[in-house]
Amino acid sequence: MPIATVETIWRNGALIPWADAQVHVLSHALHYGTSVFEGIRVYETPAGPRSFRLRDHIRRLIDSARIYDLVIPFDEDALVAGCDAVVAANGLRSAYIRPIAMVGYGEIGVAPLKPEPVETFIAAFPWGAYLGETAREQGVDVCVSSWNRLAPNTAPTGAKAAGNYLTSFLISREAKKRGYAEGIGLDIHGRLSEGAGENLFLFKDGRLMTPPAASSILQGITRDAVIELARREGIEVVEQSLPREALYLCDEAFLTGTAAEITPIRSVDDKPTRAAGPGEITRLLQDRFFGLFEGGTEDEWGWLQPVSGLADATV
């Protein structure tokens, strides 16, 4: 999906014109993937624009940088304020926010002892349904990829780092070339891991199951929200290692992520799930999740944050 150009972007603490957000071709991150990033949605709610779990995302950004010994020269409050500022400056009532901290131009060696400067950008722009406008209602067709997710102790999958997404590129590219909406990656033991940019849930025999952190997943913030919402509804949620065939035998399956939100899986490797799309549990969780932004679900957790600089809706 092309990026919709807006007027301004936040760079190192200041708003600059979108076209001026450039880096040197010898920036370290371009050569070695040394950047960490986040994806955050802002929703137009009945009360006005609200960011979803903004501080949780910013904390994960800082934690991802910590794993790689990258020093972001802004604290949590400054980054949160930067996200609000760029959304407000562009007059966006709903948006996708992309903060990124990257090792810039300085040294060309693989591992400089002091990886500086770390440049920080925050972009915000409109972005619709990641896996297609009909995906939420009809579900998507996916396949199991021939590419595995990262092995333990090769690269930390708990960090949302740019280099990790080369495997995501291979998984998703292979799936799309074969005519599927997305690919599912297995871990090195042949167990289910996650999609190219989404976490995975299966529902069978009254239990909602999802692969654990040990299966080389990024522990998604939307994944965590879905687990909370499911438990609130009295649904048993189990984080467990799952074999590939669980995809073919489940009653329902869906993908979660900031971009994907909650996207039902219609079929896997041309085998329809028993629900052949969004089943009862998937629809319930979609209703509760999107209800946070549409007014039907009470925000018991404080996940929604007003966007500073944008007026709330008038009552």
Both 208 and 98 in one domain: the answer is no
AA letter at 99 = P
Residue 4 confidence (pLDDT): 65
Chain centroid to CA 261:
8
Residue 8 confidence (pLDDT): 97
Q: Average pLDDT of 44-63?
A: 97
pLDDT of 312 higher than 60: yes
Both 237 and 280 in one domain: the answer is yes
Both 287 and 144 in one domain: the answer is yes
Percent of the chain scoring above 70 in pLDDT = 98
Choose, from 160, 176, 177, 204, the residue flagged as catalytic: 160
Q: pLDDT band for position 3 (50/70/90)?
A: low
Residue 227 confidence (pLDDT): 98
Domain membership of residue 62 (yes or no) is yes
Both 112 and 139 in one domain: the answer is no
How far is Cα 305 from Cα 261, in angstroms, rounded to an integer?
18
Both 102 and 199 in one domain: the answer is no
Domain membership of residue 176 (yes or no) is yes
Residue 288 confidence (pLDDT): 98
Residue 132 confidence (pLDDT): 78
183 bridge partner residues: 143
Residue 237 confidence (pLDDT): 98
Residue 217 confidence (pLDDT): 96
Residue 249 confidence (pLDDT): 97
Q: Average pLDDT of 125-153?
A: 91
H, E, C per residue of 47-63: CEEEEECHHHHHHHHHH
SS3 at position 95: strand
The overall average pLDDT reported for the chain is 94
Both 117 and 196 in one domain: the answer is no
Instruction: List Cα–Cα distances, 282 to 22, 148, 202, 230, 248, in angstroms.
Output: 41, 27, 10, 10, 17
Domain membership of residue 24 (yes or no) is yes
pLDDT of 210 higher than 80: yes
Tokens of 292: 């946070």
| pLDDT tens figures, 89-133 | 999 999 999 999 999 998 889 988 777 789 999 999 999 877 877
Respond yes or no: is residue 160 known to be catalytic: yes
pLDDT of 143 higher than 90: yes
AA letter at 312 = D
Q: pLDDT band for position 2 (50/70/90)?
A: low
Q: What is the CATH number of the domain that holds 74?
A: 3.30.470.10
Both 166 and 252 in one domain: the answer is yes
Domains identified in the chain, total number: 2
Residue 107 confidence (pLDDT): 87
How far is Cα 138 from Cα 134, in angstroms, rounded to an integer?
6
Domain membership of residue 177 (yes or no) is yes
The domain boundary residue, chosen from 81, 97, 125: 125
Q: What is the CATH number of the domain that holds 161?
A: 3.20.10.10
Q: Average pLDDT of 73-83?
A: 98
Domain membership of residue 113 (yes or no) is yes
Both 87 and 147 in one domain: the answer is no
Residue 128 confidence (pLDDT): 83
Under a CB-based contact definition with an 8 Å cutoff, are residues 72 and 65 in contact? yes
Both 103 and 49 in one domain: the answer is yes
Residue 51 confidence (pLDDT): 98
Residue 126 confidence (pLDDT): 94
Domain membership of residue 171 (yes or no) is yes
Residue 1 confidence (pLDDT): 54
Both 101 and 142 in one domain: the answer is no
Both 171 and 115 in one domain: the answer is no
The whole domain housing 260 covers 134-294
Lowest mean pLDDT among 93-102, 169-178, 258-267, 304-313: 304-313
Domain membership of residue 2 (yes or no) is no
Q: pLDDT band for position 285 (50/70/90)?
A: very high
